[in-house]
Protein backbone atom coordinates (compact mmCIF):
# COMPACT_ATOMS: atom_id res chain seq x y z
CA UNK A 1 0.00 0.00 0.00
CA UNK A 2 2.82 2.39 0.87
CA UNK A 3 4.53 1.66 -2.44
CA UNK A 4 1.32 2.41 -4.34
CA UNK A 5 0.87 5.73 -2.56
CA UNK A 6 4.52 6.62 -3.16
CA UNK A 7 4.26 5.82 -6.87
CA UNK A 8 1.07 7.87 -7.19
CA UNK A 9 2.69 10.83 -5.42
CA UNK A 10 5.72 10.69 -7.72
CA UNK A 11 3.46 10.50 -10.77
CA UNK A 12 1.44 13.46 -9.51
CA UNK A 13 4.60 15.52 -9.03
CA UNK A 14 5.86 14.56 -12.49
CA UNK A 15 2.60 15.64 -14.13
CA UNK A 16 2.68 18.89 -12.17
CA UNK A 17 6.06 19.74 -13.69
CA UNK A 18 4.78 19.63 -17.26
CA UNK A 19 4.65 23.06 -18.86
CA UNK A 20 1.16 24.39 -19.40
CA UNK A 21 2.08 25.32 -22.97
CA UNK A 22 2.42 21.60 -23.71
CA UNK A 23 -1.34 21.18 -23.69
CA UNK A 24 -3.48 22.00 -26.71
CA UNK A 25 -5.11 25.39 -26.82
CA UNK A 26 -8.43 25.94 -28.52
CA UNK A 27 -8.00 28.60 -31.21
CA UNK A 28 -11.31 27.98 -32.95
CA UNK A 29 -13.56 30.76 -34.16
CA UNK A 30 -17.24 30.21 -34.77
CA UNK A 31 -18.84 31.50 -37.93
CA UNK A 32 -22.48 32.16 -38.66
CA UNK A 33 -25.13 29.53 -39.24
CA UNK A 34 -26.12 29.98 -42.88
CA UNK A 35 -27.84 27.83 -45.46
CA UNK A 36 -24.47 26.59 -46.68
CA UNK A 37 -23.31 25.68 -43.18
CA UNK A 38 -26.57 23.82 -42.44
CA UNK A 39 -26.10 21.73 -45.61
CA UNK A 40 -22.47 21.15 -44.61
CA UNK A 41 -23.55 20.00 -41.16
CA UNK A 42 -26.11 17.60 -42.60
CA UNK A 43 -23.57 16.08 -44.99
CA UNK A 44 -21.12 15.54 -42.12
CA UNK A 45 -23.86 13.99 -40.01
CA UNK A 46 -25.60 11.85 -42.63
CA UNK A 47 -22.99 11.04 -45.28
CA UNK A 48 -19.50 11.19 -43.73
CA UNK A 49 -17.66 13.46 -41.27
CA UNK A 50 -15.19 15.73 -42.99
CA UNK A 51 -17.34 16.44 -46.03
CA UNK A 52 -19.02 19.34 -44.25
CA UNK A 53 -15.65 20.76 -43.23
CA UNK A 54 -14.52 20.49 -46.85
CA UNK A 55 -17.63 22.33 -48.04
CA UNK A 56 -16.92 25.06 -45.45
CA UNK A 57 -13.40 25.50 -46.90
CA UNK A 58 -11.56 24.30 -43.78
CA UNK A 59 -7.90 23.33 -43.88
CA UNK A 60 -7.05 19.95 -45.38
CA UNK A 61 -5.68 18.60 -42.09
CA UNK A 62 -9.00 19.32 -40.38
CA UNK A 63 -10.95 17.64 -43.19
CA UNK A 64 -8.81 14.50 -42.94
CA UNK A 65 -8.97 14.45 -39.15
CA UNK A 66 -12.77 14.55 -39.22
CA UNK A 67 -12.89 11.91 -41.97
CA UNK A 68 -10.63 9.50 -40.06
CA UNK A 69 -12.34 10.05 -36.72
CA UNK A 70 -15.62 9.45 -38.54
CA UNK A 71 -14.79 5.76 -38.40
CA UNK A 72 -15.92 5.86 -34.74
CA UNK A 73 -19.48 6.79 -35.85
CA UNK A 74 -20.23 8.74 -32.64
CA UNK A 75 -17.94 11.47 -34.00
CA UNK A 76 -20.57 12.21 -36.67
CA UNK A 77 -22.54 14.28 -34.16
CA UNK A 78 -19.56 16.51 -33.31
CA UNK A 79 -18.52 16.82 -36.93
CA UNK A 80 -22.04 17.75 -38.00
CA UNK A 81 -22.29 20.43 -35.31
CA UNK A 82 -18.79 21.69 -36.13
CA UNK A 83 -19.73 22.06 -39.81
CA UNK A 84 -23.13 23.62 -39.07
CA UNK A 85 -21.65 26.46 -36.99
CA UNK A 86 -18.88 26.89 -39.60
CA UNK A 87 -16.15 26.54 -36.98
CA UNK A 88 -12.72 27.44 -38.37
CA UNK A 89 -9.48 26.33 -36.76
CA UNK A 90 -9.43 24.24 -33.63
CA UNK A 91 -6.85 22.37 -31.62
CA UNK A 92 -4.69 21.56 -34.63
CA UNK A 93 -3.25 25.03 -35.20
CA UNK A 94 0.36 24.18 -34.43
CA UNK A 95 -0.50 22.77 -31.03
CA UNK A 96 -0.68 19.03 -31.72
Instruction: Give 53's contacts (C-beta < 8 A, 6+ positions apart).
Output: 40, 44, 62, 63, 66, 79, 82, 83
Instruction: Write out the residue range of the structural domain in which residue 77 sits.
Output: 2-84
Whether residue 64 lies inside any domain: the answer is yes
Q: What is the DSSP letter of 85?
A: T
Rounded to 5°, the CA angle 76-77-79 comes to 65
Q: What is the DSSP letter of 88?
A: B
Whether residue 37 lies inside any domain: the answer is yes
Whether residue 31 lies inside any domain: the answer is yes
Whole-angstrom Cα distance, residue 21 to residue 2? 33
Whether residue 94 lies inside any domain: the answer is no
Mean pLDDT, 10 residues at a time, the chain of 96 residues = 86 67 61 87 90 89 87 85 81 54
pLDDT at 71: 85
Domain count, the chain: 1
Amino acid sequence: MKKTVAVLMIALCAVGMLPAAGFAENTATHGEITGKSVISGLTSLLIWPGIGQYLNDNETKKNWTHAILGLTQIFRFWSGWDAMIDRQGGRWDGKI
